Amino acid sequence: MTTDAPSPASAATGTTGTQDLPLLVLASQSPGRARILVDAGIGFEAIVSDVDEDAAVAEATARLGGALDPLAMALLLARTKAEAVAAVEAADGAVVLGCDSVFELDGVPYGKPHTPEVAAERWRAMRGRTGILHTGHWLVDNRSTEEDDGGTGATLGTVASASVTFADVTDAEIGAYVATGEPLPCAGGFTIDGRGSAFITGIEGDPHTVVGLSVSTLRSLLASANLSIMDVWA
Protein backbone atom coordinates (compact mmCIF):
# COMPACT_ATOMS: atom_id res chain seq x y z
CA MET A 1 0.00 0.00 0.00
CA THR A 2 2.97 2.30 -0.27
CA THR A 3 5.17 3.93 -2.85
CA ASP A 4 8.74 3.75 -1.65
CA ALA A 5 11.29 6.55 -1.91
CA PRO A 6 14.84 6.58 -0.54
CA SER A 7 14.54 9.44 1.93
CA PRO A 8 13.96 9.39 5.71
CA ALA A 9 10.71 10.77 7.06
CA SER A 10 9.63 11.49 10.60
CA ALA A 11 6.37 10.19 12.00
CA ALA A 12 4.63 10.33 15.35
CA THR A 13 7.78 11.35 17.23
CA GLY A 14 8.72 14.44 15.27
CA THR A 15 12.31 13.21 15.01
CA THR A 16 14.62 12.95 12.03
CA GLY A 17 17.83 11.08 11.36
CA THR A 18 19.46 9.34 14.34
CA GLN A 19 18.83 12.10 16.88
CA ASP A 20 16.52 10.71 19.59
CA LEU A 21 15.68 7.77 17.34
CA PRO A 22 12.73 5.85 18.82
CA LEU A 23 13.05 2.12 19.41
CA LEU A 24 10.76 1.23 16.50
CA VAL A 25 11.45 2.18 12.88
CA LEU A 26 8.72 1.63 10.28
CA ALA A 27 10.09 0.79 6.83
CA SER A 28 7.15 2.41 5.06
CA GLN A 29 5.69 5.79 4.19
CA SER A 30 2.11 4.49 4.18
CA PRO A 31 -0.20 7.01 5.89
CA GLY A 32 -2.52 4.16 6.87
CA ARG A 33 0.21 2.22 8.65
CA ALA A 34 1.47 5.34 10.38
CA ARG A 35 -2.05 6.16 11.56
CA ILE A 36 -2.48 2.67 13.01
CA LEU A 37 0.70 3.04 15.07
CA VAL A 38 -0.22 6.54 16.23
CA ASP A 39 -3.71 5.43 17.25
CA ALA A 40 -2.17 2.49 19.16
CA GLY A 41 0.03 4.89 21.13
CA ILE A 42 3.25 3.59 19.55
CA GLY A 43 6.24 5.85 19.04
CA PHE A 44 8.17 5.34 15.83
CA GLU A 45 10.06 6.92 13.00
CA ALA A 46 9.45 6.12 9.34
CA ILE A 47 12.46 5.49 7.12
CA VAL A 48 11.37 4.57 3.61
CA SER A 49 13.22 1.93 1.63
CA ASP A 50 14.26 2.24 -2.00
CA VAL A 51 13.16 -1.31 -2.80
CA ASP A 52 12.00 -2.00 -6.36
CA GLU A 53 9.06 -4.32 -5.60
CA ASP A 54 8.69 -5.66 -9.14
CA ALA A 55 12.41 -6.42 -9.37
CA ALA A 56 12.40 -8.17 -5.98
CA VAL A 57 9.50 -10.42 -7.01
CA ALA A 58 11.07 -11.14 -10.41
CA GLU A 59 14.39 -12.10 -8.78
CA ALA A 60 12.69 -14.41 -6.29
CA THR A 61 10.58 -16.00 -9.03
CA ALA A 62 13.67 -16.69 -11.12
CA ARG A 63 15.58 -18.06 -8.13
CA LEU A 64 12.76 -20.38 -7.06
CA GLY A 65 11.84 -21.42 -10.57
CA GLY A 66 8.18 -20.51 -10.28
CA ALA A 67 5.67 -17.84 -9.35
CA LEU A 68 5.24 -16.87 -5.70
CA ASP A 69 1.92 -17.48 -4.00
CA PRO A 70 0.24 -14.41 -2.43
CA LEU A 71 1.45 -15.14 1.13
CA ALA A 72 5.03 -15.73 0.01
CA MET A 73 4.97 -12.53 -2.03
CA ALA A 74 3.70 -10.44 0.90
CA LEU A 75 6.34 -11.87 3.23
CA LEU A 76 9.14 -11.50 0.68
CA LEU A 77 8.41 -7.80 0.13
CA ALA A 78 8.02 -7.09 3.84
CA ARG A 79 11.38 -8.76 4.52
CA THR A 80 13.11 -7.00 1.62
CA LYS A 81 11.94 -3.60 2.85
CA ALA A 82 12.82 -4.26 6.50
CA GLU A 83 16.30 -5.52 5.66
CA ALA A 84 16.95 -2.62 3.27
CA VAL A 85 16.12 -0.07 5.96
CA ALA A 86 18.00 -2.02 8.65
CA ALA A 87 21.12 -1.62 6.50
CA VAL A 88 20.80 2.18 6.61
CA GLU A 89 22.95 3.96 9.21
CA ALA A 90 19.97 6.01 10.37
CA ALA A 91 18.32 2.81 11.64
CA ASP A 92 21.23 1.66 13.81
CA GLY A 93 20.06 0.74 17.29
CA ALA A 94 16.40 0.40 16.36
CA VAL A 95 13.98 -2.45 15.75
CA VAL A 96 12.85 -2.23 12.12
CA LEU A 97 9.41 -3.32 10.92
CA GLY A 98 8.71 -3.86 7.24
CA CYS A 99 5.20 -4.48 5.90
CA ASP A 100 3.70 -5.20 2.52
CA SER A 101 0.19 -6.12 1.43
CA VAL A 102 -0.98 -8.40 -1.38
CA PHE A 103 -4.61 -9.04 -2.32
CA GLU A 104 -5.66 -12.54 -3.38
CA LEU A 105 -8.64 -13.36 -5.57
CA ASP A 106 -9.11 -16.87 -6.97
CA GLY A 107 -5.59 -17.72 -5.86
CA VAL A 108 -4.06 -14.92 -7.93
CA PRO A 109 -1.98 -12.20 -6.18
CA TYR A 110 -2.74 -8.55 -6.92
CA GLY A 111 -0.62 -5.61 -5.85
CA LYS A 112 -1.17 -1.93 -6.57
CA PRO A 113 -3.11 -1.27 -9.80
CA HIS A 114 -1.27 2.04 -10.48
CA THR A 115 -3.50 2.95 -13.47
CA PRO A 116 -7.24 3.72 -13.66
CA GLU A 117 -7.75 1.06 -16.32
CA VAL A 118 -6.29 -1.72 -14.17
CA ALA A 119 -8.14 -0.51 -11.06
CA ALA A 120 -11.49 -0.52 -12.89
CA GLU A 121 -10.84 -3.99 -14.31
CA ARG A 122 -10.08 -5.35 -10.85
CA TRP A 123 -13.19 -3.83 -9.32
CA ARG A 124 -15.35 -5.42 -12.02
CA ALA A 125 -13.78 -8.77 -11.06
CA MET A 126 -14.11 -8.20 -7.28
CA ARG A 127 -17.64 -6.83 -7.00
CA GLY A 128 -20.06 -9.06 -5.18
CA ARG A 129 -17.26 -11.42 -4.19
CA THR A 130 -14.82 -12.14 -1.35
CA GLY A 131 -11.04 -11.98 -1.51
CA ILE A 132 -8.20 -12.17 1.00
CA LEU A 133 -5.83 -9.36 1.94
CA HIS A 134 -2.46 -10.68 3.12
CA THR A 135 -0.08 -8.36 4.95
CA GLY A 136 3.47 -9.55 5.48
CA HIS A 137 5.29 -8.32 8.58
CA TRP A 138 9.06 -8.63 9.00
CA LEU A 139 11.00 -7.52 12.09
CA VAL A 140 14.76 -6.93 12.23
CA ASP A 141 16.37 -6.31 15.63
CA ASN A 142 19.01 -3.78 14.61
CA ARG A 143 20.27 -3.21 18.14
CA SER A 144 23.83 -4.23 18.91
CA THR A 145 24.26 -7.73 20.31
CA GLU A 146 27.73 -6.84 21.64
CA GLU A 147 26.79 -3.82 23.74
CA ASP A 148 24.41 -3.62 26.68
CA ASP A 149 21.38 -2.50 24.68
CA GLY A 150 19.45 -5.78 24.58
CA GLY A 151 20.01 -6.66 20.94
CA THR A 152 18.97 -10.20 19.99
CA GLY A 153 19.84 -10.28 16.28
CA ALA A 154 16.30 -11.49 15.59
CA THR A 155 15.11 -11.29 11.99
CA LEU A 156 11.80 -12.99 11.33
CA GLY A 157 8.31 -12.44 10.09
CA THR A 158 4.82 -13.73 9.46
CA VAL A 159 1.72 -12.99 7.42
CA ALA A 160 -1.61 -11.78 8.80
CA SER A 161 -4.65 -12.27 6.56
CA ALA A 162 -8.25 -11.09 6.51
CA SER A 163 -11.15 -11.81 4.16
CA VAL A 164 -12.86 -8.85 2.48
CA THR A 165 -16.34 -9.01 0.92
CA PHE A 166 -17.28 -6.41 -1.68
CA ALA A 167 -20.68 -4.98 -2.54
CA ASP A 168 -22.10 -5.60 -6.00
CA VAL A 169 -21.17 -2.09 -7.10
CA THR A 170 -22.32 -0.58 -10.37
CA ASP A 171 -20.12 0.43 -13.28
CA ALA A 172 -20.92 4.06 -12.45
CA GLU A 173 -19.73 3.59 -8.86
CA ILE A 174 -16.54 1.92 -10.04
CA GLY A 175 -15.85 4.74 -12.48
CA ALA A 176 -16.46 7.42 -9.87
CA TYR A 177 -14.29 5.67 -7.28
CA VAL A 178 -11.41 5.05 -9.65
CA ALA A 179 -11.58 8.69 -10.78
CA THR A 180 -10.78 9.84 -7.23
CA GLY A 181 -7.36 8.20 -7.54
CA GLU A 182 -7.69 6.60 -4.12
CA PRO A 183 -7.41 2.96 -5.22
CA LEU A 184 -4.40 3.36 -7.52
CA PRO A 185 -1.59 3.07 -4.91
CA CYS A 186 -3.38 0.46 -2.77
CA ALA A 187 -2.91 -3.31 -2.76
CA GLY A 188 -5.95 -4.79 -4.46
CA GLY A 189 -7.16 -1.36 -5.51
CA PHE A 190 -9.28 -0.55 -2.46
CA THR A 191 -9.21 0.93 1.04
CA ILE A 192 -11.36 0.34 4.11
CA ASP A 193 -10.42 3.65 5.73
CA GLY A 194 -11.43 5.95 2.88
CA ARG A 195 -14.02 6.23 0.12
CA GLY A 196 -13.66 2.53 -0.61
CA SER A 197 -15.28 1.66 2.73
CA ALA A 198 -18.70 2.34 1.19
CA PHE A 199 -18.23 -0.60 -1.15
CA ILE A 200 -17.15 -3.20 1.43
CA THR A 201 -19.85 -5.22 3.17
CA GLY A 202 -17.80 -7.41 5.47
CA ILE A 203 -14.37 -8.19 6.91
CA GLU A 204 -13.40 -11.43 8.61
CA GLY A 205 -10.22 -10.99 10.63
CA ASP A 206 -8.26 -8.04 11.99
CA PRO A 207 -9.30 -4.88 10.06
CA HIS A 208 -5.85 -3.40 10.75
CA THR A 209 -4.44 -6.16 8.56
CA VAL A 210 -6.45 -4.81 5.64
CA VAL A 211 -5.12 -1.29 6.21
CA GLY A 212 -1.60 -2.73 6.20
CA LEU A 213 -0.30 -3.37 9.73
CA SER A 214 -1.60 -5.67 12.46
CA VAL A 215 -0.67 -4.36 15.91
CA SER A 216 -1.32 -7.77 17.47
CA THR A 217 1.11 -9.31 14.96
CA LEU A 218 3.67 -6.64 15.83
CA ARG A 219 3.26 -7.56 19.50
CA SER A 220 4.03 -11.21 18.75
CA LEU A 221 7.10 -10.34 16.67
CA LEU A 222 8.44 -8.01 19.35
CA ALA A 223 8.27 -10.87 21.84
CA SER A 224 10.74 -12.78 19.65
CA ALA A 225 13.20 -9.94 20.23
CA ASN A 226 12.61 -10.02 24.00
CA LEU A 227 10.49 -6.87 23.80
CA SER A 228 6.89 -6.12 24.75
CA ILE A 229 4.41 -3.83 23.05
CA MET A 230 4.78 -1.52 26.05
CA ASP A 231 8.44 -1.00 25.15
CA VAL A 232 7.39 0.85 21.99
CA TRP A 233 4.58 2.90 23.47
CA ALA A 234 5.16 6.63 23.00
| Contact present, 3 and 185 (Cβ < 8 Å) | yes
| Contact present, 45 and 15 (Cβ < 8 Å) | yes
DSSP state of 4: -
Quickly list H helices, the chain.
31-39, 53-64, 70-86, 116-126, 171-179, 207-211, 215-224
110 CB-side CA count, 13 A = 26
| Contact present, 121 and 101 (Cβ < 8 Å) | no
- Residues facing residue 97 across a β-bridge: 26, 139
Quickly list H helices, 66-149.
70-86, 116-126
Sign of the Cα torsion 199, 205, 211, 212 reads negative
Q: Which residues are catalytic?
A: 100
Long-range Cβ pairs for the range 10-14 (8 Å, 24+): 10/45, 10/46, 11/37, 11/38, 11/44, 11/45, 11/46, 12/37, 12/38, 12/42, 12/43, 12/44, 12/45, 12/234, 13/43, 13/44, 13/45, 13/234
